[in-house]
Chain A
Amino acid sequence: MDKPSGRLVRSHCVGTTAVVYASDYLNKLTGEKIERECRRQLDSGCRGLVIDFSDTQLVNSIGISILLGIIDVAEKSGARVAFSEVNHQTIELFEMLGLTRHVLLAKDEREALLNLSNYEATHIVH
């Protein structure tokens, strides 16, 4: 496993999947940093993205919009997105707004990586 990068947004790669850690409050400033990091990982060839919310207490409307943008870019790149360690309140918000239709939800990073790996195995495109 790669070491977490020294960037402001913590991230690392597991195979072709990038794990990006969201901060405590996903607002404009932090959301845009995460979005840039996700784009960077996708541009460098990642086929899966795990966004880990273990440190995230709150996601506001800007955070939702930015996450949708990440999902959009990932879909256009043929990549799949998983969210891990999302707290109960935020899961309710994501479900209510329909984000969960576009991402895999996992209880932790390991499960997210496994889900993406299984998904990739069953959706190989030659």
Chain B
Amino acid sequence: MEYRKPSEDAVRYWRTVRLITFFTVGAISLAVCLLMNLDVGATWKYVVLTLIVVINLYNLTALILFPKIEYMQWGYLVEEDRVVIRHGLFWVDKDIIPVIRIQNITVSQGPVMKQYGLFQIEMALASGKFTIEGLKQDVADEIGENLKNRLYSRLAAREDEK
């Protein structure tokens, strides 16, 4: 079973998103530190400070390392009657979605994705949503069209069976 990978630009997209998170959390941390008036010592301040340091170190690690690892794990497969999505970081999830269960398919693009010409496909089921990220427009359109056709043909086949 050969998984298809997202576009390599997805690594840059994930890194940019994490960079934004890093700066946002960093700015909030700085504001909290200033509000806490750090020169007055109290045990709880050390606890808060440790938490802030740990969160920001995690975000920094996430910024540098995680996008590459995430890309290694990412894979998707659109088969005749189901979609398989493999994703995760240290924990890898493998989602199996029967095509017949898909209620609607959305191809979307956020502002950061736009910078890298990427799209994502969202498959909505009655009991949840699944997303394939980091796709170039032609691939996203192809998958969207493909899924739609498969869904219609499966529905028609079921109707005929009835």
- Are A and B physically bound partners? no
Interface residues of A (CB under 8 A from B): none
Interface residues of B (CB under 8 A from A): none
